[in-house]
Amino acid sequence: MDDIILETRNLTKHYGGVHALQGANFVLRKGEHVAIMGDNGAGKSTFVRQITGVEQRTRGEIIFNGSPVNFAGPLDAREAGIETVFQTLALADHLDVSDNLFLGRERIRFRLGPFSILDYRAMREATLEALQRTGVKIPNIHNTIERMSGGQRQCVAIARTATFHSKLTIMDEPTAALGVQETAQVEAIIRTLKEQGEPLILISHNMRQVFDLVDRIVVFRRGRICANLRKEETDGQDVVAYITGAKTQPEYEDAA
């Protein structure tokens, strides 16, 4: 089908004898926002690490944007259009916002190999534009990252993924360490991505957030997918039942 942006078939990862991820079949369509939920150690992060090439899967297939992919590392995934906001933010603390946004893909005024001259002005303007588009509010883009709050840092990391028109954004617990206001700010950005039709995989423990933001919830339990729920057809208690193992959808019965 044309509108499938990401599909995994029988995706499996073993760490030695530990079966961290078992036969995950997952589909994400264009413009769709999907939450991945589950207890600690249920396989959520393992699942993401296989997709983004941080680790190499034991078995299974990943089909991204219509063709099977084998990412050797996170860079390959990024070049293919998968941007990830990791729990540990990949930001350079001593550089400012636009430096970080454009790190590794700087705008150039004059090409001279490694000594190419930076076009600060173009990067600054593109940064302001990107921040506006994503609704990120940062008091002064000339502040270095080390002078920013956790929420602002998270916003910069997200703005980076949004700046370069990625085909898929993955966020691994983006608000886990944030306060109420900062969380609201990050959620506003996620809504903006939704309006712009950018597909998203959100890993979160926050039930309220998940129900606010996404279309579909996929529940992982003990390394397997145990439920695939449309938001309208479920509620918080139902999801908790799946997370804890009280319920399992019939089509995933063998996972129990």
Partner 1 sequence: MSDRAHGIGGLKYDPRQKAKPQELNVLIALVLIVAAFELLGRLLYGDSFLFNTRPNVDAIFNWARLNIIILQVSIVGIIAIGVTQVIISGGIDLSSGSVVGATAMIVMSFAQTALVNGNPNPKAIFGDWAMDLPVLVPILVGLGCGLLAGAVNGVLIAYTRIPPFIATLGMMVSARGLARWWSNGQPVSFPTDSFAALGKGMMPVVYFILLAILFHLILRHTVYGKHTYAIGSNEDAARMSGINVARHKVIVYALAGMLAALAAIVLCSKNLTAQAGMGVMYELDAIAMSVIGGVSLAGGRGSIIGTVLGALIFGVIISGFTFLKLDAYYQEMVKGAIIVGAVVLDQWRQRRGAASP
Residues in the chain: 256
- Per CB under 8 A, the list member of 31, 41, 60, 135 interacting with partner 1 is 135
- Per CB under 8 A, the list member of 3, 59, 108, 235 interacting with partner 1 is 108
- Per CB under 8 A, the list member of 23, 33, 50, 99 interacting with partner 1 is 99
Residue 256 found at the interface with partner 1 (CB under 8 A): no
Per the CB < 8 A criterion, the answer to whether 200 and 194 are in contact is yes
- Per CB under 8 A, the list member of 5, 62, 136, 158 interacting with partner 1 is 136
Stretch that binds partner 1, among 2-10, 27-35, 132-140, 237-245 (CB under 8 A): 132-140
CB of 97 vs partner 1, minimal distance in Å:
10
Number of chain residues interacting with partner 1 (CB under 8 A): 42
CA neighbor of 158 nearest in space, from 208, 83, 75: 83
CA neighbor of 211 nearest in space, from 179, 177, 235: 235
CB of 250 vs partner 1, minimal distance in Å:
41
As a three-state string, the secondary structure of the chain is CCCEEEEEEEEEEEECCEEEEEEEEEEEECCCEEEEEECCCCCHHHHHHHHCCCCCCCEEEEEECCEECCCCCHHHHHHHCEEEECCCCCCCCCCEHHHHHCCCCCCEEECECECCEECHHHHHHHHHHHHHHHCCCCCCCCCEHHHCCHHHHHHHHHHHHHHCCCCEEEEECCCCCCCHHHHHHHHHHHHHHHHCCCCEEEECCCHHHHHHHCCEEEEEECCEEEEEEEHHHCCHHHHHHHHHCCCCCHHHHHHC
Stretch that binds partner 1, among 8-16, 27-35, 107-115, 207-215 (CB under 8 A): 107-115
CB of 116 vs partner 1, minimal distance in Å:
5
CB of 27 vs partner 1, minimal distance in Å:
27
CB of 125 vs partner 1, minimal distance in Å:
8
Per the CB < 8 A criterion, the answer to whether 187 and 3 are in contact is no
Per-residue binding letters, 174-203, with partner 1 (x by CB under 8 A): ------------------------------
Q: For residues 34-93, which are near partner 1 according to CB under 8 A? A: 74-75, 78-79, 89-93
- Per CB under 8 A, the list member of 4, 69, 118, 177 interacting with partner 1 is 118
CB of 33 vs partner 1, minimal distance in Å:
23
The contact set with partner 1 (CB under 8 A) reads 74-75, 78-79, 89-95, 99, 103-106, 108, 112, 114-118, 120, 124, 128, 131-132, 135-144, 146-149
